[in-house]
Structure 1
Amino acid sequence: MADEWQELRVSNDALDNPPELRARMDTEGYVFLKGLFNPENMRSLRRAMTEVLQEHGWLQAGTDPMDGIAVIEAQCTEGDVGYTDVYHQVYKLQAFHESGHWPVIMDTMEKIIDAPVLSHPMKIARIWFPQYTDHTTPAHQDFVHFQGTFDTYTCWAPVGDCPEELGGLAVVPGTHKVGKVVDHHFSLGAGSLVVDEQVQEGPWHSTNYEIGDALLFHSLTVHKALPNVTEDRMRISLDNRYQSVHEPIAEHMLTPHLSQDNAYDWDDVYADWSDDALKFYWTGRDQATVPRDLSYGERGFAEAVERAAQGDPAARLHLERIVRRDPTSDNARKAAAALAT
């Protein structure tokens, strides 16, 4: 698969030159930094996360959880009730949330944004099973999901080495220059939205990531995950967002990730934390908020309903998940009607 993408440009030489970092982000829509994070900090976080995954049956019992050897029979993904239940156990980890505030990423984002930085409260982990490639995150722009201001930046970082076959991230440089949200359509995979095929023509850029690496990119930069084609290894990564404190944040980014899937709030997240330093850290500020624009998801759902009625298996699987997750919702009723045709 290596011939399908080109190597990311490494920008460590510009770390101490904020104007150059900003110029590269402005030109390419991404900045890739080797070893930005302390590998030992990442290993400690990986152990904490994988121990939870093993405790809840996603990693093989009797193995070192650091190896990330998955239980294939436990396969699930975002949108599945079983996924959310285990994911929210990982989400309670204080160390997981603290990683989004490590000084090195806050300082780097401040150099790129050129303003005081807000780390979005909605921290995100991506936990992808092997042999489940139909659910690989499709090509998309982050803005459709996280919104607020176009000048929001993602930091994607593998929690462990992430060679090509484990499914790292790939970007199309310069795609942010369009300056707008391009058309998205229904797809399986995280977010359930994919850009038009012509936007995906590339060239795609990726790498064999190592622990400590970080890929930073603009909210309009088109990107996707590579498939996890390993036999039995779980892919785990951090997926966090940053913006200027002077720009508005979308209201839903102030809530826990996947909290719409069950009754889950910040008090649940904080239940076992040892201190209060990061609890509700975004409150008490003069931080502007904007409502979430639901139109992107609504269009994707309407396409899924139409395609499911025509027998499309991916769309039918998506609608079946919606029905199982909340059978009394309006979308579940529409999904059930489409599945009955």
Structure 2
Amino acid sequence: MLGAALTEPLLARDYQVTPFEDATPLLDFPDALRARAESLGTLFLPGFLPAEVVGAVRGFVRRLADEHGWTQPDASNPPTVKGMPGAKLNGRGWDDPHWVDLQTALRLSPEFDALAEHPRLHFVLETLLGEPAACATANYAWLKLPGSPEHTTRAHQDLYYLPKSTRMWTVWVPMVDTPEDLGPLGVVPHSRDLGLLRHASPFIGIEDTRGLDWHSQAVQCGDLVIFDALAIHCAWSNVSATDVRLSADIRYEPTSLGGETGLRAVV
């Protein structure tokens, strides 16, 4: 049963899904922005980041992905990425040695640093935390190839994996334009009110969330979704015939924690 669950595509159309609530009008009202985030456990900010900042990270990631034979080279670096026919990540995807090497290179790159430390991001995170935010170390670039439902990010809560990180906020950044068939993020609003739910395993996450109301929609490069450690979230399966979904998870915690959660920044 576990194996079947991990290979079955996760599709938004099988769930109760409505679009994200645009939090842009609240950016000039910090108290209201914080209240929205604390109520929903998530914020959606379309077009929030400069396309060139996100594009620089995309270009860095796709150059490495090209070298590993996952993607088709395109020096113009458009906000769409074509997969190499037949390309696959080994194992569970995140344990593929080449994928691990890509993460190490990414975290050391000036392109990623410019994104993670962007003043607009820090403005929002400091508003949510009520104090300066520090970028943590558990940050990743995700590469979801077409025809790989076994590598879908299933519904889960980050606090299950990071139990000390109760004040952590994650910023999900699509690095490519991501229509529904490419597998954008899905988040259950108000799921922090449910507490930490039972996870069937570290790999399958929360088994059945069909009775919950989800927020999700097609997104573009420059949009971002922010969510807290108790937010139930997933990334729908990439069912595109040819395109690759590239995205980044960037995590932040209060600077005042001083490293006690194990997610501290290396800077």
Q: Is the Cα–Cα contact under 8 Å of residues 148 and 248 in structure 1 kept in the other structure?
A: no
Letter matched to residue 143 of structure 1: L
Q: Is the Cα–Cα contact under 8 Å of residues 149 and 248 in structure 1 kept in the other structure?
A: no
| Matched positions, count | 251
Aligned to 1:242: 252
Letter matched to residue 246 of structure 1: S
User: Relative to structure 1, is the Cα distance of residues 54 and 21 closer, same or farther in structure 2, using a 3 angstrom cutoff?
Assistant: same
Q: State the alpha-carbon separation in 2 of the partners of residues 95 and 145 from structure 1.
A: 27
Letter matched to residue 109 of structure 1: L
SS of the residue 1:22 aligns to: helix
Deviations 1:67-87 (A, max 9, x none): 411124331111233432444
Q: Which of 18, 30, 39 is residue 6 of structure 1 equivalent to?
A: 18
The Cα of 1:113 is off from its aligned counterpart by 1.3
SS of the residue 1:184 aligns to: coil
Letter matched to residue 142 of structure 1: D
User: Relative to structure 1, is the Cα distance of residues 193 and 143 closer, same or farther in structure 2, using a 3 angstrom cutoff?
Assistant: farther
Aligned to 2:40: 28
SS of the residue 1:42 aligns to: helix
Q: Is the Cα–Cα contact under 8 Å of residues 54 and 221 in structure 2 kept in the other structure?
A: yes
Q: State the alpha-carbon separation in 1 of the partners of residues 261 and 149 from structure 2.
A: 32
Q: Is the Cα–Cα contact under 8 Å of residues 258 and 264 in structure 2 kept in the other structure?
A: no
* Correspondence 1:40 to 2:56: no
Would you identify which runs of 4 or more consecutive aligned residues in structure 1 move more than 4 Å? 61-65, 248-252
TM-score of the two chains, using structure 1 as the length reference? 0.68
* Correspondence 1:71 to 2:71: no
* Correspondence 1:59 to 2:71: yes
TM-score of the two chains, using structure 2 as the length reference? 0.85
The Cα of 1:94 is off from its aligned counterpart by 2.3
Letter matched to residue 192 of structure 1: F
Aligned to 1:210: 220
Q: Is the Cα–Cα contact under 8 Å of residues 63 and 73 in structure 2 kept in the other structure?
A: no
Q: Percent identity?
A: 25
The Cα of 1:193 is off from its aligned counterpart by 4.2
| Larger helix share, 1 or 2 | 1
Q: Which of 184, 192, 196 is residue 203 of structure 2 equivalent to?
A: 192
Between structure 1 and structure 2, the one with the greater Rg is 1
The Cα of 1:125 is off from its aligned counterpart by 1.1
Q: State the alpha-carbon separation in 2 of the partners of residues 44 and 61 from structure 1.
A: 15
Q: Which of 128, 140, 148 is residue 112 of structure 1 equivalent to?
A: 128
**RMSD of the alignment, in Å?**
2.2
